[in-house]
Structure 1
Amino acid sequence: MTKTQSRARTRKAGNSKAPAAEPATPEMTRRRLLGRLGYGALGVAAFGGAGIWGTRHVQAINAEHDLSRVGQGVPTVVQIHDPQCPVCMALQKQTRKALRGIDEQDLLYLIASIRTAEGSAFAGRFGVPHVTLLLFDGQGELRQTLRGPQEAEHLRPIFESLGRRG
C-alpha cells in the first residue's frame, strides 16, 4: 500500500482530522488602531458639521417665514410665494440676488407661503396672489406692491430706497 492510499483510507475511517485553518486576520497593531481611531474621529466631525449646518439652515428658514417680524422697526420685503410655482421660484432667486450686500438690519426678506395657513391669510389680508412682493416700512405700513416676475437690476434700487426710508 502506498502512502497516498494509506492517507485516503485513514480519512475514510475518520481517524484523522484535518488541522483547523487559522483566521487570516492580521494582528491589531498600534498603528492600525490609531488609524481606525482617526477615521472614527473624522466621521464624528463630519456628522457633527452636517448636524450644525442642518440646524442653522432650518433656523434660517423658520426666521424667513416668521411674518410677525413685519413692523418691528426694520423695513421688510415679503414675497407671497407658492413653493410649487416656477415663476415664484424665479422671483425668489431674483429677489435674493437683488438683496445681496444689503444687511438684514437694514432690510428684512420674508416669505409668506400660500401653502401655509399663516402665509395664505397674510396674502388674503392684502388681496394679492402669489408672485408678488409687498414692501413695508419699519412700522409695518405697506409702501409698495410689485406684481409678477421682476429682474434683480430693477429690484435693487427699489430695495435700497426702502431701506433708506425705513
Structure 2
Amino acid sequence: MSKSRKATQRRKAKQAAAPAPKTRRSFLAMAPYIIGGIIVAGGIGYMGISTVRADLAEQDLSDIGNGIPTIVQVHDPACGSCIILEKETRAAFSDIDEDDLAYRIASLTSDVGSEFAAKHTAGFATLLFFDADGVLTDRIHGETDRAELKTAFQAHIDENS
C-alpha cells in the first residue's frame, strides 16, 4: 500500500472516531431538557426559600401579646421528645385558623429562644399558652398526642374569645 493511501485511511479513521461538532440543531434538540432543568431547579429553590421564611416567622417571639392567643413550643432540634411534640402540635394546628391561635417556636439553640425559655422557666418539649395580652396562662410538658392538644388549643381559643 502506498503512503498516501495509508494516510488517507488514518485520516478517515480519525474523523470517524472524533465526536461530531456541536451544531445549532444538536443544541435545539437538547433545549427542552435544559429548560426543564432550569424550571426544576427554580422550583426547588422557591420551596427552600418559602420553608426558611416560614421557619423564621415561627421563631419570631416578638408578636406574643399582639391580640391573638399564642402557643409557644420550647424546642431543641436534637431532642426526640421535642420532635414528636412538634409533629403532634402541627397536626393539632391543621384545623385551626391562624387568626384564632398563633404557633411559635422558642428554639433552645438560639439566644432569643434560650432567654425566652429561661424567663418562663420552661424546659425542652414544653408548650406555653399565652393569652391575647401575652400573659402566660397554662403549659403542657412532654409528648402529648394530637387529640389532647386539639382539645387544649380549642379550650384556649374559647377562653380568649
After TM superposition, the score normalised by the length of structure 1 is 0.84
How many residues are matched? 155
2:20 maps to amino acid: T
- Map residues 1-166 of structure 1 onto 2, 5 A cutoff: 7=1, 17-19=7-9, 20=11, 21-22=14-15, 23-25=18-20, 28=23, 30=25, 32-166=26-160
| Secondary structure, aligned partner of 1:17 | helix
2:56 maps to amino acid: N
Q: What are the Cα deviations for residues 57-102 of structure 1, in whole angstroms up to 9, with x where unaligned?
A: 0000000111112111111110011110101111111111111111
- Tell me, in whole angstroms, the C-alpha distance in 1 between the residues paired with 2:5 and 2:142: 92
Give me the CA root mean square deviation: 2.2
- Tell me, in whole angstroms, the C-alpha distance in 2 between the residues paired with 1:29 and 1:114: 57
- Tell me, in whole angstroms, the C-alpha distance in 2 between the residues paired with 1:98 and 1:109: 11
Identity %, equivalent residues? 35
Unaligned runs of 5+ residues in structure 2 are: none
Name the CA shift for 1:33/1:133 in 2 (closer, same or farther; >3 Å). Answer: same
Name the CA shift for 1:16/1:114 in 2 (closer, same or farther; >3 Å). Answer: closer
Q: Which has the larger radius of gyration?
A: 1
After TM superposition, the score normalised by the length of structure 2 is 0.86
Q: What are the Cα deviations for residues 88-131 of structure 1, in whole angstroms up to 9, with x where unaligned?
A: 11111111111111111211111111111111100110111111
